[in-house]
């Protein structure tokens, strides 16, 4: 059960169609960035996990901080390794995939999927189709019809025009065309901003309140990331002003930030992502805080197949998770493109649920041939 080696694989896989994401406006995504960790034990077990970046920062501390932290440790020493990674995060960007890869080893050692080691609440998780770009009303109605035909019962639209009332026009027409056949969430992507080729108007509290009230009349279930991630007081005031559930927390990286969200009363739905928050160990602690406050968990997954696999394990481990994000925005973002680094994509059943894999660990395997073909660095 001892870790004898740990490797880092950085790859950049070209996308067949550039993807115009709302979180990086004016700068379409042209590559799928993969930072994959491989943990090897003295039992011959190989554990894998990956993040959605090509982190040269993590590579910079690999020999000085990561290898000394984990090599020689038992794969059960999660608390100690997690604490070390929190310290290492002062020097590198989100090293949490190290911890997730160790959980993959632990699951394989126990011959159990991770969600069963964390609680095993359910074997199927309801998925909602999550779009990530801005499209015309006609295109979004076409997407909505496709999602319904494929079994989805929920979908998420984006609100990221310079004028949010333009977003409302699209949202209103899509919901009208749905005629109650599918439920909706809306993501404003206001929690953080790229300083890229195109700036986007930031929402203030009054704008967020007005927008939320409009969504109430449309029957929208939740509004995601309506204000900056650290505007605790603004988020709390917004949440108190509307019957629409307020969601967020996907990019927050430490347990104490979630403590403050809960203290201020910021969110109804927490989008905790194991690859962003500190791995499974910290994510499960955050989930306990969420459960104690009778709030909901709906993990963020807009990364790639490995990120979805990790969030699925967290979602299935607890009863406080009613649904999970399934990133799917055809034609540029098909699920086969999202999961191209896996040997098999993660699919949704015909009734809108994902059936949990019973393979041990994360339940997925890396496509090493593809990862090696587009490798930019190996350590």
Residue 251 to residue 303: CA distance in whole angstroms = 11
Lowest mean pLDDT among 49-58, 89-98, 167-176, 202-211: 49-58
Question: Which DSSP helix (H) or strand (E) runs through 14?
Answer: strand 3-19
Residue 271 CA from chain centroid, whole number: 7
In residues, how long is the chain?
379
Q: With CA atoms as reference, report the closest residue to 164 among 223, 250, 233, 246.
A: 223
pLDDT of residue 195: 61
pLDDT of residue 128: 98
| Percent of the chain topping pLDDT 90 | 90
The domains of the chain are located at: 3-112+365-378, 116-355
Mean pLDDT of the chain: 95
* CA dihedral sign, ordered 87, 91, 93, 99: negative
Residue 327 to residue 362: CA distance in whole angstroms = 18
Q: What is the mean pLDDT of residues 145-169?
A: 96
Record: fold of 3-112+365-378:
Enolase-like; domain 1 (3.30.390)
Q: What is the mean pLDDT of residues 32-36?
A: 94
Q: What is the mean pLDDT of residues 210-215?
A: 98
What is 116-355's CATH superfamily?
Enolase-like C-terminal domain (3.20.20.120)
Q: With CA atoms as reference, report the closest residue to 250 among 52, 3, 26.
A: 52
Lowest mean pLDDT among 22-31, 115-124, 347-356: 22-31
217-242, pLDDT tens digit by residue?
A: 999 999 999 999 999 999 999 999 99
pLDDT of residue 198: 62
């Amino acid at each position: 059960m001892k870790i004898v080696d740990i490797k880092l694989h950085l790859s950049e896989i070209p996308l067949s169609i550039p993807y115009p994401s709302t979180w990086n406006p004016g700068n379409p995504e042209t590559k799928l960035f993969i930072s994959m960790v491989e943990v090897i034990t003295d039992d011959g077990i190989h554990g894998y996990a990956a993040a959605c970046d090509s982190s040269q920062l993590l590579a910079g501390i690999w020999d000085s901080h990561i290898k000394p932290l984990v090599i020689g440790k038992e794969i059960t020493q999660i608390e100690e390794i997690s604490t070390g990674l929190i310290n290492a995060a002062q020097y590198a960007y989100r090293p949490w995939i190290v911890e997730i890869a160790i959980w993959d080893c632990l699951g394989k050692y126990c011959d159990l999927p991770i969600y069963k080691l964390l609680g095993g609440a359910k074997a199927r998780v309801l998925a909602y189709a999550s779009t990530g770009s801005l499209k015309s009303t006609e295109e979004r109605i076409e997407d909505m019809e496709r999602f319904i035909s494929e079994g989805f019962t929920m979908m998420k639209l984006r609100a990221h025009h310079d004028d949010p009332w333009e977003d409302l026009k699209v949202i209103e027409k899509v919901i009208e065309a749905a005629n109650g056949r599918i439920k909706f969430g809306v993501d404003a992507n206001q929690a953080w901003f790229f300083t890229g080729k195109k700036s986007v108007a930031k929402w203030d509290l009054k704008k967020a309140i007005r927008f939320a009230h409009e969504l109430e009349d449309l029957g929208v279930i939740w509004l995601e990331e309506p204000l900056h991630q650290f505007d605790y007081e603004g988020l709390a005031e917004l949440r108190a002003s509307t019957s629409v559930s307020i969601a967020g927390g996907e990019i927050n990286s430490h347990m104490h930030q979630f403590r403050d969200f809960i203290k201020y009363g910021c969110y109804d739905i927490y989008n905790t992502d194991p690859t962003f928050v500190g791995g499974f160990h910290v994510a499960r602690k955050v989930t306990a805080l969420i459960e104690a406050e009778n709030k909901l968990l709906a993990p963020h997954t807009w990364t790639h197949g490995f990120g979805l696999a990790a969030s699925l394990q967290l979602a299935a481990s607890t009863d406080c998770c009613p649904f999970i994000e399934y990133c799917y925005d055809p034609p540029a973002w098909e699920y086969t493109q999202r999961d191209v680094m896996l040997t098999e994509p993660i699919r949704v059943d015909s009734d809108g649920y994902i059936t949990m894999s019973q393979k041990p660990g994360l339940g997925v395997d890396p496509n090493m041939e593809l990862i090696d073909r587009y490798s930019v660095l190996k350590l």
